[in-house]
Structure 1
Amino acid sequence: MEISCKDFKVGRCEGQKVVDGETMPLVLQPLQPNTSDTKSLLSALKQNKDWFEQVLIKNSAVLLRGFDVKNAEDFNDIIEAFGWDEARYIGAGIRKHVHKRVWTANEGPLSESIYFHHEMVLVKGSPEKVMFFCEIPPPEGGQTPLVPSFRVTERMLEEFPEAVQEVEAKGVNYTLTALSTNDTSSIRGKGWEDAFGTPDKAEAERRAKALGMDLEWLPGGGVKTIMAPQALTKVYDGRKGRRMWFNAVVGMHGKETSSAMLADGTEIPETFVKRCEQIIEEESIQFKWEKGDVLFLDNMAVLHGRRTSLPPRKVLVAICK
């Protein structure tokens, strides 16, 4: 597919990479200085909706840069221009509602990094698209690094072909422990009442079951969430048959509040997990946020995270089915 459109020009950003012939992130800029306003951007997106979606699937990440996107209202208008269905966030990070479809990305301290992940990777019906808007770029750090998921699978198969096959065949069980109420001192501080949208335990169990989870109540009001066995990799339509590293093994294995182990109850080898962590970092792509940036991610194809940063940093998020 040719990356050309009468309403955008292709730009560059520091840190972008070409992966298997695809530029990540693909940078789209105003065609002319007088078309950088939000009204012109919305018109261009609506007129080129199908083209934009194809470009996003092809390149996995698209960065709109140089447009006059000022606030959450502008960001929301951009998301709504596509007509995508909104997805409800289910996860351990605390988010605050800002405007319509727009939320804060994570209320946890900026001094903590957020490990690479596919959004809602353990939940039935993970969102297909994740969008970020940078309202206030951090003075240092705070990047949202990306990883092409298929590259992790390829490299793990090269180095651990038998182990990958074993984990894939057995499946992975995950657990995550949460308090009843939110703890903003942690990037994984969302309490179960907020996560499931109810203080009623019976209703929480029903909602968890619908998402493929069981709940084990703990002394003190906390809960252990137990996920049904999950695959290690997945293949999604329209993405060249690539096997995506669609799991949370590294992010949840051996942590204080979470675990990841084989579904038969045996441990995943530490060498497997550690080397995977190294590969993910080696494959990472990152750029510095600029004010007004809007980043679109194909959540089926790319992992993302957050580097530590100095304040202030204000990056908002929206997720769509």
Structure 2
Amino acid sequence: MSSVTTNTSHHHGDGALITAQPGTPLDVLDRSTVMQVLADAGFLLLRGFDTSVGEFSRLVRRMSERITLDPARSLHGGVAQKVDAGLDAIGLHCENGNSPFMPHLCWFFCERAASIGSETTVCDGYRAWDALSPAAQRAFLDRDIVYSRHVEAAKWKSFVHHALQGAKRVEDISLDDLLSLADARPGTVIRPSAGEAIYYEFQVPAARRTLFSDRIAFANSILGPSYNYEKPRITFADREPIPLSLLDEVVRVTEAVTVDIAWRDGDVLLVDNTRAMHGRRAILDPRRTIYNALSFIGHRETPAGEG
């Protein structure tokens, strides 16, 4: 890796930046080294490498033990999914964090950077947690949060089809198949709804240990988007609404410790999805082209309550 340089003080002191001499292939990156940098930094940006959608997909496969997906996005080569969520700003969230199938890692590949603005945002959950007031910390430690919503049949069946690695045709997939996948996820209730849709409730802490550490991170999807899905109802576990004053503090605190990723063509971003939340500023250049991938690694079991 002599052609690669690691800077563990990316921008505001969060994350890591790994740069390469022009033409350096992603293959030079060692999995154990990348995961150690990720464990220390929470997210890392790969810049200057020789990249493409295919090379990005190969990197994700090499670094991961299992690939998952968002069934509402188009799939490219079995790994990469084109990000298409409109042009508005998107609030901070963990990818699929409002469901029992939250992945460990969230990957991004910038095929074409915006000419202006349109940055991806990343917020380290450790810094966010430390910045919250003691009263806010106690509120989130005392009670879990619950996400609930309906998901249409085409989307949950597509997810199950991929999770079963194509072992069953989409048209043959039943609710029992989904229930089997969710069986080991505590805090999950799934029941049938109209037209083969499902309704689910998912209970999970808003602040919890992470993939690489027992340190508490504020990492959740209470500010997140629902562009391709029904907007979830988000409450405390006792079904009491989250007070607006508490949500206002979360917005203020997380914005103060959020880093903007100003994309360049060919950049790859890797986020510890159990520790860091991500979002997006409003897209000012619609030619911007970003791909996403989601995966699991076997470092440890998924943090409690996530499955």
Return the letter of the residue paired with 1:226.
Answer: E
Match of 2:158 in 1: 194
Deviation at 1:163, TM superposition (A): 4.5
Which of 165, 168, 175 is residue 141 of structure 2 equivalent to? 168
Contact 2:105 2:271 in 1 (8 A): yes
Contact 1:128 1:299 in 2 (8 A): yes
Helix, strand or coil at the partner of 1:50: helix
Matched, 1:86 2:62: no
Match of 1:102 in 2: 80
Q: 124-133 or 139-148: which moved more?
A: 124-133
- Counting only pairs closer than 5 Å after superposition, residues 238-253 of structure 1 correspond to structure 2 as 238-239=212-213, 241-251=214-224
Match of 1:17 in 2: 12
Matched, 1:130 2:96: no
Provide the rounded CA distance (Å) in 2 between the counterparts of 1:180 and 1:101. Answer: 22
**Greater Rg, structure 1 or structure 2?**
1
| Per-residue Cα deviation, 1:121-153 (whole angstroms, up to 9, x for no partner) | 244564322221111112333321100101221
| Per-residue Cα deviation, 1:163-199 (whole angstroms, up to 9, x for no partner) | 4324422322211233445xxxxxxxxx444344456
Match of 2:208 in 1: 234
Return the letter of the residue paired with 1:28.
Answer: I
Contact 1:11 1:27 in 2 (8 A): yes
- C-alpha RMSD over aligned residues: 3.0
Change (3 A) 1:211 1:237: closer
Provide the rounded CA distance (Å) in 2 between the counterparts of 1:7 and 1:257. Answer: 45
Provide the rounded CA distance (Å) in 2 between the counterparts of 1:86 and 1:98. Answer: 16
Change (3 A) 1:282 1:177: farther
Contact 1:252 1:259 in 2 (8 A): no
TM-score by length of 1: 0.76
Which of 40, 54, 59 is residue 36 of structure 2 equivalent to? 54
Change (3 A) 1:114 1:211: farther
Deviation at 1:98, TM superposition (A): 0.3
Matched, 1:8 2:4: yes
Deviation at 1:61, TM superposition (A): 1.7
Change (3 A) 1:138 1:285: same
| Per-residue Cα deviation, 1:184-226 (whole angstroms, up to 9, x for no partner) | xxxxxxx444344456445445545554532344456644321
Contact 2:15 2:44 in 1 (8 A): yes
Return the letter of the residue paired with 1:97.
Answer: L
Provide the rounded CA distance (Å) in 1 between the counterparts of 2:273 and 2:194. Answer: 36
Provide the rounded CA distance (Å) in 2 between the counterparts of 1:98 and 1:256. Answer: 25
Q: 287-296 or 304-313: which moved more?
A: 304-313
- Counting only pairs closer than 5 Å after superposition, residues 65-80 of structure 1 correspond to structure 2 as 65-69=47-51, 71-80=52-61
Structure 1: any 5+ residue segments left out of the alignment?
19-23, 182-190
Helix, strand or coil at the partner of 2:279: strand
Any runs of at least 4 consecutive aligned residues in structure 1 with deviations exceeding 6 A, and if so which?
A: none
- Counting only pairs closer than 5 Å after superposition, residues 287-306 of structure 1 correspond to structure 2 as 287-306=261-280
Deviation at 1:256, TM superposition (A): 7.2
Deviation at 1:55, TM superposition (A): 1.3
Deviation at 1:102, TM superposition (A): 2.0
Provide the rounded CA distance (Å) in 2 between the counterparts of 1:306 and 1:312. Answer: 15
Provide the rounded CA distance (Å) in 1 between the counterparts of 2:143 and 2:15. Answer: 35
Contact 1:139 1:311 in 2 (8 A): no
How many residues were matched structurally? Answer: 282
TM-score by length of 2: 0.79
- Counting only pairs closer than 5 Å after superposition, residues 207-218 of structure 1 correspond to structure 2 as 207-209=181-183, 211-212=185-186, 213-218=188-193
Provide the rounded CA distance (Å) in 1 between the counterparts of 2:34 and 2:175. Answer: 43
Provide the rounded CA distance (Å) in 2 between the counterparts of 1:179 and 1:76. Answer: 28
Matched, 1:45 2:23: no
Helix, strand or coil at the partner of 1:17: coil
Match of 2:166 in 1: none
